Each structure stands twice: as C-alpha cells, then as structure tokens.
A and B are shown apart, each in its own frame.
Chain A
Amino acid sequence: MTIWDPRNETQPREDLDQLQLERLQATLNRVHRSVAFYRRRFEEQRFDPGDFRSLADLRRLPFTTRAELAAHHPYGLFAVPLREVVRLHASTATGARPVVVGHTTRDIRTWGELAARVLSAGGVTRDDVVQIAFDYGIFPDGFGFHYGAERIGASVIPTSAARMAHQLEIARDYRSTVLLAPPSVARSFADHLATERIDPKTLFLRVGVFSSEMWGEPLRRDLESRLMIRAADAYSIGEVMGPGVAGECAERAGLHLQEDHFLGEIVDPATGEVLPAGATGELVLTTLTREAFPLIRYRTGDLTRLDPAPCACGRTLARMARVAGRTDDMISVRGVHFFPGQVAAILTALEGAKPRFVLALQREAGQDLLEIRVEVSEGMFFDGMRRQQQLVDEIGRRVQEELGLAARVRLVDPRTAAPGESPVRVVDER
C-alpha cells in the first residue's frame, strides 16, 4: 500500500534522531518562552532548555498530566496568542472538564498531512469514496480524518454521526468504498445490515479505518467478515491532536507512531520509570511540531508498547501495539500492578470460565488480598466439585504465573452480575 510521505516515513533512524532532537529543542525553547506553566516547571527542576543535549535529557523533565491540563482550562497552556489560533477542539472528558486544544493554521495543515499518512497506511487512496461517520463537532475525529482524506484526494462524504438507516442509504447510493468510524459505530452499521437483511456484497465498501475506542481482534474479524472490508486500527488522542498520531499499515504489526512529530516513551504507570524498548507500559507523548498547544511528556493513560524495529512495509517509524488498556483501570495489590484486561485474557483462554468477573480487593490479617469471583457457564455447576476445583486451581496458577500475584479464586453463579452491567467490576472491600 502506498506510503504517503516516503521521505519522512522511511527515513533512516539516525536522520529521525537528528530531526527529533532539532524539533524537541525548538519546542522546549518555545514553551519556555511562551508558556508560564512550563517555564515555572523548568525553573523548579533547574532545567534550562539551552542545556538540552540529547533525547535522554527529556527524562529530567516532569510529566504533564491530564489534571494539569484541566487546571489550566481553557487557554492557560497555549503557546501562541489566541489571535493566532484558528480552531478550538476539546478532548473527550473522562469525568473532569474537557481539555481545550488549539490549532494554528500550520497545526491544521500538519494534522491533515498526518491523517493522510494514517489513512494511506490503512489502504485509502485518491480513488476512494470516503464516508466519515465520526461526529463532526467539538471532538476532533471527524475533522482530522476529513482533512486527511481530502489531502489524499479522495471523495469525502461527511455524514457525521447519523442514524444507521441514513448511513446505509448514503453508503449504498453514493457507493462509499471506505468507512471511517468509531468501531462501535461500525458494529452498529454491520448490525443494521443484518437486521435489514442486506448483503454486504451489494455495497461497495472495501476498507475501514476505525479509531477512538479500544477494539480487539475479535471485533476486527467480525467487522471484516460482515462488511467485507479490510479494517485498520488508528490511534487518536484529543489532547495531543486527534487522529493522525499513529496508524496501522498492511502488515498489521502495530501502529506506526508519527515520530517525526511526536516523541513516544513508555513508562511504568506506577513509578513513572522509563521502560526499555518492547516493554508494556503507559504511553507518554511529547509533541515536536505542535504550535498552539505543545505538550511535554504528556501521560496519555494508554497502555501499549513500542517496537522501534523497521517494519516490513518499509516505514522506519516505531510501531505501537494496539492499545489494550487504560492506566485509569490499573489495580495495585501488594505492590503488584495489573489490569482487569489481563485477568480477562486469562479467563477467555480457559474453558468453562467466562470473562465476566469481579475483582474484590480485601484485607485479611493486615495483608491486602485479591479475590477473583469468576462467573462460570451454566453447565459447570452440574459438573461436580472435582471439575470446579480444577478450574479454580488453573485460574489461580495462571494468575500467579502471569501477574506474579497469589489470588483467591471463587466461582460464582452466572447470574451474579445484573444484565447490562459491565462484565468486569472492581470492588474495594478493604
């Protein structure tokens, strides 16, 4: 598949290192000059951007958190005067106030370029008719993909968020070949096709690029077969820019992070320690070219890993694994950090157990303890004690192996969780 910007996407790593250093130094000089928050930060750390020599020096700087962005709502962290900002978006609010993200003219142009890279990697070409079912609003996804698709030269249909009947009518009548949507919307679209008994062969879709929500391989297989498309994952993060930050190529070996515009680090979500290449942890991003709203070491809360090895597709940009969890969900028991998703993965692999469970944090004899209450399939309860005990032991053994934590496992009735309730719950009973 075409590489949109071969010069930048396939450059040797040593050239990329040089470019990253240049752009990082320039960004640090700009935020030091123009953003009081960062200047104060740097002074507290006795850090002078004029002494910044290598990417490793970045580790001397503190992280920037979402709470800090919210505390400077709305314009406190802008690096240019408002009159140079031509667009304002907000990032999705997880609880607190949304974060206002400004773009200069150049930011918007860069955004279009990077979104074009991601769409090209996903298989979109200038001959495509691209239906964008992301909401065009204050959240950036609709606009970001729109710029990218236009840059490629495709025919863009901004359907935005609409009823599935309407999306379908457009897809069929306008002969859309590409669907850009959150994966949950793509699923609703596929469901609608099924309900209406419409054969996907009567549509013209061939590619889907889905982003902004976590989605896994099972949903990919489902969407690919039900819509008869190739589905690619893209990484979007509103605080940093929106879509265009990273995207999957045809190799499906991770999402290429646009490292000439964003510097990625992987840190231990609990200690903040920078982890070696290949380790899974929290993605921390520093913007290298953003003008209006630069971010230094922003903790994304997204769990992934980075692989700097060159890809078979020819791109030299590092690949991040598909985001598999959020640090918001991280649980700590006796100094061991893990995520409900890891437990779900263990349970999915075992026959008889369901990936529906409660993680109960308890305290016994002054010790924190994890109890996993696993729902079992109907048949299991009639299988007798021995079979049940085997399952309990197996879950315990695998949790010990993979999380390094001894947990107490109990099997519970499949009707324990109320219908519609989240299949995974964490309760603190300490």
Chain B
Amino acid sequence: MLKVRNLEAGYGPLKVLRQVSLHVSAGEIVTLIGANGAGKSTLLRALSGLLAPRGGEVLFDGASIRGLPAERVVGLGIALVPEGRQVFAAMSVEENLVLGGYVAARRGRDGEGTARALDQIYGLFPILRERCAQLAGTLSGGEQQMLAMGRALMTDPRLLMMDEPSMGLAPLVVRDIFRAVQRLREEGRTVLLVEQNARAALRIADRGYVIETGRLVLEGEAGFLLRDREVQRAYLGKGYRDVWE
C-alpha cells in the first residue's frame, strides 16, 4: 500500500532522515520505534505532506504522493493523528469530529454520511459520545487522544498514521488506545504507528522498523524485534514502563 524509498528530509541545513526505505502492506500494523530525536515524527510529517521531502520516492497504491500538499494526501486516504493530539480546545467534541470530516464533506459526503461516520467513531470510543457536547480542552489526555484519532478517522482513511499516541498517558489508558488500534485493523484499516513505547507498540504490530539518527537499522516481524536483545537493550530497557504488565 505504502512504499517509501530513499526518503530524505530535514529542516534548513539539518538532515534528519537519510535514505529511509520502508513499506506498509494493506491490513498491516507497522510500527516505527526509536529514541527521541531519531526522526520518527519527521518521517510522518514528510509522508503526510506537512514537510516537503528533499529526495526519494513515496508511493501510495503505486502512485507517487511525494511533495503533494497535505489536503491532497488526506483526499487519497491517508490520515495523520499528530503528536500531542492537537485538538481544538475551544470547540466541542462533536465539532472537532465534524471538522475532521471536512475533506470528505467537500468531496460530496452529505449530512447522512457524516452522521454515519460519527456513529462509527462513537462506537469505537463510547466515551466521546457521552462527551459530545463538552469542550475538547476539558477532556482528559486519553480522551483527547481518542478524539484526535476520531477526527482523523472522519476522513475514512485507508492508512492511519499515528504519532506517539501513548505519550503522557497512564498505562491503562494506553492499553485502551492500543486496543482501539487493533480494532481499526480488524475493520480493514492499515496503520503506521510511531512510538517511543516500543514494547507496547511491538505487541500489537505485525512488523517493526528501528530508526537511529535518521537511518533505519533494523526491520523485522514485531515478535522477533520484541525478543531481540539489541532492541531490548536500546529501547525496552528498565527505564521503559511496560503498560501491559
């Protein structure tokens, strides 16, 4: 579904990504793990059109999407759940969601379609239905994360890219979020998950990539990486909380 070859990206004189090649097949959960500053978020920004790549190819269903503006990328069926949720605090939960469906509405989705999409998201996160009229800024961190995911899902993406969804959340909440990710895959969506919480991400993923200072150094089945001692030493050390235990 998504094929990235030799992607290069950076900010000003700073080269962040060096020849990054990876792929995500339809129906997979693929996780990209690595330390802070390794280039994980830069990769998602470059893929979603928020940052223009300097080199390489990005193919989505065989067609190049490299350098397309973000709204075109969304229109093709790729949605990003940004790091730090970035919900619109002064708007209600439902307004946030409806806004997320803007691209779909512009492409001709009527009110009924929007209602159906809302219903699906409320089904995935019942707590959001309960709080549909509440201002997004008053939600807890976990609820905001659910809202950010719901907002991205309003575009009915085939590929959902998530940037550090577990950041700053309590272990039990992380578990709920990751269960929701698994359910999305069961519904047929494909997920690219960027995480510092490597253990939790590898537990639900099919495959994983390890990124170090802008370069990929390992690729493999998630189960293999989870048991990999090099990965354990570098990314699953004692400093990391294991949210499943």
Query: Which residues of A line the B interface, CB within 8 A?
Result: 15, 18-19, 21-23, 25-26, 29-30, 33, 49-54, 80, 84, 104-106, 109-110, 289, 291
Contact = CB atoms under 8 A, between A and B. Distances in A.
A84 B5 contact: no
B22 A22 contact: yes
Contacts of B216: 22, 25-26, 29
A30 B220 CA distance: 14
Given A26-B219, A29-B216, A21 B228 contact: no
B95 interface: no
B112 to A, nearest CB: 39
Nearest to A50: B18
Contacts, number: 65
A267 B148 CA distance: 54
A18 B19 CA distance: 13
B6 to A, nearest CB: 5
Contacts of B209: 22, 26
A22 B219 contact: yes
B21 interface: yes
The 8 tightest CB contacts between A and B, nearest first, are: A50-B18, A29-B215, A22-B21, A84-B229, A29-B217, A53-B6, A26-B216, A21-B21
23 contacts: A18-B3, A18-B21, A22-B22, A22-B209, A25-B215, A25-B216, A26-B219, A29-B216, A30-B218, A33-B217, A50-B18, A50-B19, A50-B215, A52-B19, A54-B6, A80-B229, A80-B230, A84-B229, A104-B229, A105-B229, A106-B220, A106-B224, A109-B224
B109 interface: no
A55 to B, nearest CB: 11
A21 B230 contact: no
A104 B215 contact: no
B23 A22 contact: yes
Nearest to B25: A15
A140 to B, nearest CB: 20
B179 interface: no
Contacts of B116: none
Given A50-B19, A106-B220, A21 B227 contact: no
A298 to B, nearest CB: 20
Interface of B: 3, 5-6, 18-19, 21-23, 209, 212, 214-220, 224, 227-230, 233
B166 to A, nearest CB: 25
Contacts of A33: 212, 217
A65 B228 CA distance: 29
Nearest to A79: B230
B230 A25 contact: no
Contacts of A18: 3, 5, 21, 23
A30 B19 CA distance: 14
Contacts of A21: 5, 21
Given A18-B5, A29-B215, A105-B227, A289 B220 contact: yes
Contact of B217 (A15, A30, A54, A289): A30
A105 B228 contact: yes
A84 B23 CA distance: 28
Given A30-B217, A33-B217, A106 B228 contact: yes
Contacts of A110: 224
B104 to A, nearest CB: 31
Contacts of B21: 18, 21-22, 25
Contacts of A25: 19, 21, 215-216
B15 to A, nearest CB: 8
Contact of A26 (B18, B218, B229): B218
A109 B216 CA distance: 21
A15 B59 CA distance: 12
Nearest to A17: B5
Contacts of A30: 217-218
A54 B230 CA distance: 27
Contacts of B218: 26, 30
Contact of A29 (B212, B227, B228, B230): B212
A291 B5 CA distance: 23
B217 to A, nearest CB: 5
A21 B217 CA distance: 12
A286 to B, nearest CB: 15
Given A25-B215, A26-B219, 18 more contacts: A15-B23, A18-B3, A18-B23, A21-B21, A22-B22, A22-B209, A22-B216, A25-B19, A29-B215, A30-B217, A50-B18, A50-B19, A50-B215, A52-B19, A53-B5, A80-B229, A106-B224, A109-B224
B78 to A, nearest CB: 18
Contacts of A84: 229-230, 233
A353 to B, nearest CB: 54
A23 to B, nearest CB: 6
B18 to A, nearest CB: 4
Nearest to B15: A50
Given A18-B3, A106-B224, A49 B219 contact: no
Contacts of B230: 80, 84, 104, 291
Given A104-B230, A105-B227, A23 B217 contact: no
Contacts of B215: 25, 29, 49-50
Nearest to B18: A50
B17 to A, nearest CB: 10
A25 B210 CA distance: 12
Contacts of B233: 84
B192 to A, nearest CB: 14
Nearest to B55: A53
A171 B234 CA distance: 48
Contacts of B220: 106, 289
A407 B43 CA distance: 63
Nearest to A84: B229
B217 A26 contact: yes
A291 to B, nearest CB: 7
A49 B217 CA distance: 11
